[in-house]
């Protein structure tokens, strides 16, 4: 079984506009699908890839042009300086969780299997989803489900969790689903649970904080004319990427200089996000929510 089927592979590689002999970054190595494709176009260049999941290290490609770093991409600046690789010609980030992570029941990423309530991408971290569900206050839980899951009934969800955890510790994905069953709209249960688990996953891994750090650092790390290519999978990520590429900040507020020119650091290559076609979605259902944005450093 393939570790991970890369999403929007052709479009993202074209978006990088790879120059032979350049230095590129794959911020989310995973199964190595995007990295493999970058290397095909790279000539004598070099590729530095990151993945915080130790399982991804087993997929290291046997290629001397590749350096694979077992760290979160929020540390990109430190490692690129360490390897004297600044500035780079392009950065690619595919923000989705890998098929491998979903298919390992004990990781807790899948709604199909009963598994530990874990959700850590970096298993060396201490904080798990079980810690959050059993130890966070009702107010904090409500805030997470509302902000990161965009769930309007977050108050009820937090209250039901508190009620359930007073009887017994919530340790598994099925226990959490059982505890919140009364909160799931009829006929939309899967969508509800997907949002619930998304909220916990974002909190466990500080996903939005890491993404902000990557985007902020990319401005200093890219050469003029270098490309930033990002594939996101939900509106919270996509909004951050869209606003940052357009305005250089996460609020999307465009500032202008004395002459009224927008103070953007990037030129947008595609104004609207590129999304997978019907054929790709049929082939890989996990691609259905993907949005690709490409920008060039001015």
Tens-place pLDDT, residues 212-224: 999 999 999 999 9
- CATH number for the domain harbouring residue 126: 1.10.150.170
> Closest Cα partner for 237 from 286, 290, 177?
290
Do 112 and 259 share a domain, yes or no?
no
Average pLDDT over residues 171-199: 96
> Mean pLDDT across the stretch 133-159?
98
Do the domain assignments include residue 2? Answer: no
1 pLDDT band, cuts 50/70/90, is very low
Residue 1 within a domain: no
Structure tokens at 165: 């955890």
73 & 112 share domain: no
CB 113 within 8 A of CB 99: no
- Cα–Cα distance list, 201 to 35, 194, 281 (Å): 25, 10, 24
Please say whether the beta carbons of 236 and 208 come within 8 A.
yes
- For the chain, the straight-line distance linking the first and the last C-alpha, in angstroms and rounded, comes to 41
- On whether both 184 and 113 belong to a single domain, the answer is yes
State whether 125 and 185 are in the same domain: yes
The answer, yes or no, to whether residue 103 has pLDDT greater than 80, is no
pLDDT of residue 150: 97
Residues 25 and 152 grouped into a single domain:
no
Peptide bond into 87 cis (omega under 30): yes
Q: What is the pLDDT of residues 45-67, one digit of tens each?
A: 999 999 999 989 999 999 999 99
- Please tell me the pTM assigned to this model: 0.94
- Examine residue 24 and state whether it is found in any structural domain, yes or no: yes
Residues 291, 238 within the same domain: yes
Distance CA 221, CA 191 (A): 38
Q: How much of the chain, in percent, has pLDDT values that exceed 90?
A: 86
In a domain, 135, yes or no: yes
Residue 130: exposed, middle, or buried by beta-carbon count in 10 A (0-12, 13-18, 19+)?
buried
* Domain span including residue 144: 107-205
pLDDT (tens digit per residue) in 263-284: 889 999 999 999 999 999 999 8
Using the 8-state DSSP alphabet, how is residue 47 labeled? Answer: E
């Amino acid at each position: 079984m393939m570790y991970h089927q890369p999403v929007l592979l052709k479009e993202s590689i074209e978006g990088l506009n790879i120059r032979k002999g350049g230095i590129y970054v794959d911020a989310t190595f995973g199964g190595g699908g995007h990295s493999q494709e970058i290397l095909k176009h790279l000539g004598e260049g070099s590729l530095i890839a990151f993945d915080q999941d130790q399982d991804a290290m087993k997929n290291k490609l046997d290629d001397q042009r590749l350096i694979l770093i077992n760290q979160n991409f929020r540390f990109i600046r430190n490692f690129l300086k360490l390897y004297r690789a600044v500035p780079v010609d392009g950065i690619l980030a595919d923000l989705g969780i890998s098929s491998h992570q979903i298919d390992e029941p004990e990781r807790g990423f899948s709604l199909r299997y009963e598994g530990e309530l874990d959700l850590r991408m970096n298993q060396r971290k201490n904080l798990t989803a079980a810690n959050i569900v059993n130890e966070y206050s009702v107010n904090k839980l409500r805030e997470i489900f509302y902000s990161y899951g965009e769930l309007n009934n977050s108050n009820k969800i937090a209250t039901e969790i508190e009620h359930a955890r007073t009887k017994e510790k919530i340790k598994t994905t099925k226990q959490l689903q059982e505890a919140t069953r009364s909160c799931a709209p009829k006929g939309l249960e899967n969508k509800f649970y997907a949002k619930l688990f998304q909220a916990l996953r974002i909190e466990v891994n500080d996903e939005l904080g890491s993404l902000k750090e990557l985007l902020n650092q990319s401005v200093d790390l890219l050469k003029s004319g270098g490309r930033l290519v990002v594939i996101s999978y939900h509106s919270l990520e996509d909004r951050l990427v869209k606003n940052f590429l357009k305005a250089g900040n996460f609020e999307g507020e465009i500032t202008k200089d004395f002459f009224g020119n927008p103070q953007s650091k990037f030129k947008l290559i595609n104004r609207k996000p590129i999304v997978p076609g019907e054929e790709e979605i049929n082939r890989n259902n996990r691609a259905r929510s993907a949005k690709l944005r490409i920008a060039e450093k001015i």
